[in-house]
Amino acid sequence: MTRAFLIVLDSAGIGGAPDAGRFFNGTQPDTGANTLAHIAQACADGRAGAGRSGPLRLPNLDRLGLGAAIALASGDAAPGLGCAPQGLWGAATEVSPGKDTPSGHWELAGVPVPWDWHYFPDTQPAFPPDLSAAVARAAGTDGILGNCHASGTEIVARLGEEHLRSGWPICYTSADSVFQIAAHEQAFGLDRLLDLCRAVAPMLHDMRVGRVIARPFTGAPGQFTRTSNRRDFAIAPPSPTLCDWISGAGGTVHGVGKIGDIFSMQGIFDTVKGSDAELMGDLSRLVDGAEDGSLTFANFVEFDSLYGHRRDVSGYARHLEWADAELGALIARLRPGDLMLITADHGNDPTWIGTDHTRERVPVLGAGVGVRAVGQVGFADIAASIAAHLGVPSQGPGKSFL
Give the span between the Cα atoms of 283 and 137, in whole angstroms: 41
| Burial class for 45, CB neighbours closer than 10 Å (0-12, 13-18, 19+) | exposed
Return all residues near 105 (Cβ < 8 A) that are at least 6 apart: 8, 259, 262, 263, 299, 345
Strand partners, 148: 172
Return all residues near 366 (Cβ < 8 A) that are at least 6 apart: 64, 87, 88, 89, 339, 340, 341, 342, 372
Cβ distance 338 to 2 under 8 Å? Answer: yes
Is residue 304 marked as binding?
yes
Is residue 10 marked as binding?
yes
H-helix or E-strand spanning residue 146: strand 145-149
A 10 A CB-CB count for 270 gives: 11
Give the span between the Cα atoms of 206 and 209, in whole angstroms: 7
Alpha helix (H) residue ranges in 303-373? 313-331
Is residue 309 marked as binding?
yes
Return binding residues: 10, 304, 309, 345-346, 357
Binding residue positions for Mn(2+): 10, 304, 309, 345-346, 357
